[in-house]
Each structure stands twice: as C-alpha cells, then as structure tokens.
Structure 1
C-alpha cells in the first residue's frame, strides 16, 4: 500500500503557514523559511518544540519542492 502524506497546497506555504502532521509513528513539520520550506521529521510522541534534534531538510517553495518533501518523508518511515 502506498503511504499518503496529506499536505496543503502550494499557496498555503507561500502564505507563510506552518503545517504539522503524522503518518504512523512519523511526525513531521513543514515551515516556510525565506524561499524554502524547512521539512522536519521525528518518531516520538512529543511536539516539534520538545525535540532535541529532528531530522531536517530544505526544499524550494514550489510544486516540485513539495514532491521532494513527500519523497524525503517517505524515506523516513
């Protein structure tokens, strides 16, 4: 079965909104930073702010960048 990540549309991130979600044990956060989206992932029931060192990457704020973010998140499951 294909793992689905339910992200918001590109305009959501272009308007500087932060998105937090989960998929099974994986928790993730996408936060716009300048012209990129910082993508964070962790496997703990604590919130992002309580994490000491979540895995992170940055992708461009674009449809391609969102696709990269999903691929990166799938690699963390």
Structure 2
C-alpha cells in the first residue's frame, strides 16, 4: 500500500510511544501511541486540532498489524475527504 502520508515505520509508535501529525490540506491527521493503543484522529480545514472538530477517530492495537490497519484506515478517510471536496 502506498504511504502518501510519510508515516514512519511501526516501531516509531510501538517501541517509543510517539505521536505523528501531518496534512494533505484540507485533510489533517494525528497518530498518537502514548497509551496502550494507537489512536488516529482526522479533521478538515486550515486550523489545528485544538481549534477544530474531529471528523473521525479510531483506535488500533499497538503492534505492527495495528499500524498497518491504521494506515489503511487513514487512506480510507483521505479518500472520503477527497470525494467531499
């Protein structure tokens, strides 16, 4: 699967509990592995997450498989955004 988002490899999240943000305007996303799961939040527009209403969010297992599923879900959400534009 294409990684149009430039998201790091799974160990960036599974071993280090990091977060990662990015955008393909107007599509924005945050991937956070600070807890026991990987949480992905998407929102639209020019504003930061704190000033926006999330369009969708979902949690995934904090392992390599969960990272792959998160990336696939993020791509699905991006396609929804593109169709709405």
Q: What is the TM-score of this pair, normalised by structure 1?
A: 0.81
Describe the SS at the equivalent of 2:65: helix
Alignment of 1:1-77 (within 5 A): 4-13=4-13, 14-77=15-78
Going by fraction, where is helix more abundant, 1 or 2? 2
| Residues 55-64 or 3-12, more deviating | 3-12
**Which contiguous aligned blocks of 4+ residues in structure 1 show a shift greater than 3 angstroms?**
none
Describe the SS at the equivalent of 2:46: coil
Aligned residues: 76
Q: How far is 1:32 from its partner?
A: 1.3
**What is the CA RMSD across the aligned residues, in angstroms?**
1.8
Describe the SS at the equivalent of 2:77: coil
Structure 1 spans left out of the alignment, 5+ residues = none
> Following the alignment from structure 2 to structure 1, what is the Cα–Cα distance between the partners of residues 68 and 48?
24
Structure 2 spans left out of the alignment, 5+ residues = 79-85
